[in-house]
Amino acid sequence: MRKDSRWLTSVNKMAGDSWLSDYDVCARLGQEIMEKINERNKHNRTSSSYTKLSAQVRVSMKQFSGDLGKLRQNLMRASSSYHITQREVERRQLQLDGLTTKEKQMEQAFRNERGGETRQSLLGNRGTDTFASSDPWGMNEDPDNFRGVANNEIQAQQQDIIREQDQGLEALSNVIARQKMMAVDIGNEVDNQNELIDDITDHTDRTGERLIKETSHIKIVDRKSNTCGYWIAIVLLFIAIIVIVAVPYNKKP
């Protein structure tokens, strides 16, 4: 199985698949973090070396979590676009599950909640020489679930896993389809509302123009009404003057 894994790694690298190379970088970073944690726990908590290593581990663990999240996203993107086979997706998912487990173990070791027991559990009860080996986490070993199991049983387990994943994907597809329909309905409603808003805006503009015209007409009528009053007064005075001039003034004898 190790030879098959190395062969798949070389094939995927030649095909331009960078996921496995990113996975190897993330796994090596995890090994470095574990080594730093083990080295830090050898120092006194109040020492400067302990503080310095703790700061380095925090930064590295944050980077490890980010790299692990990117690996998950890239795997989901590759599986949805069918760039890799379903069997390869399952194999990579098992690798991600292993890194996720190791991440929790790193956090527990970093907090040093159980002291020596935590370090022994991280070492897998193999002694302190584990970190000196080329594979401190046992990434290259076969999973415990597949040890001592016949090939037909492994195939049956894989088929069960595939069926469960198919059911999950089908449920997810239904949810996405419903969300798409809801998004389409919302988009149509927004378009209708935009049309109504455009109509209201047009009516408002026309009403504003009419108000401006009517206001100008009122001002003109107001000016004319004031001028008309003056002319009436002038005419009345002119008539009064004519009457006074025309009517003779009768003097008494």
Tell me the pTM. 0.40
Residue 86: pLDDT above 70?
A: yes
Give me the DSSP letters along 144-189. Answer: GGGTT--HHHHHHHHHHHHHHHHHHHHHHHHHHHHHHHHHHHHHHH
User: Residue 214's pLDDT is what?
Assistant: 82
Mean per-residue pLDDT of the chain: 76
Helix, strand or coil, per DSSP, at residue 243: helix
User: Residue 25's pLDDT is what?
Assistant: 92
Report how far residue 12's alpha carbon sits from residue 20's, in angstroms, rounded to the nearest whole number. Answer: 8
Residue 217: pLDDT above 70?
A: yes
The larger pLDDT score, comparing residue 51 to residue 114, is at 51
Query: Is the sign of the CA dihedral 42, 43, 49, 51 positive or negative?
Result: positive
**pLDDT, tens only, 161-193:** 888 888 888 888 888 988 888 899 899 899 989
User: Residue 114's pLDDT is what?
Assistant: 41
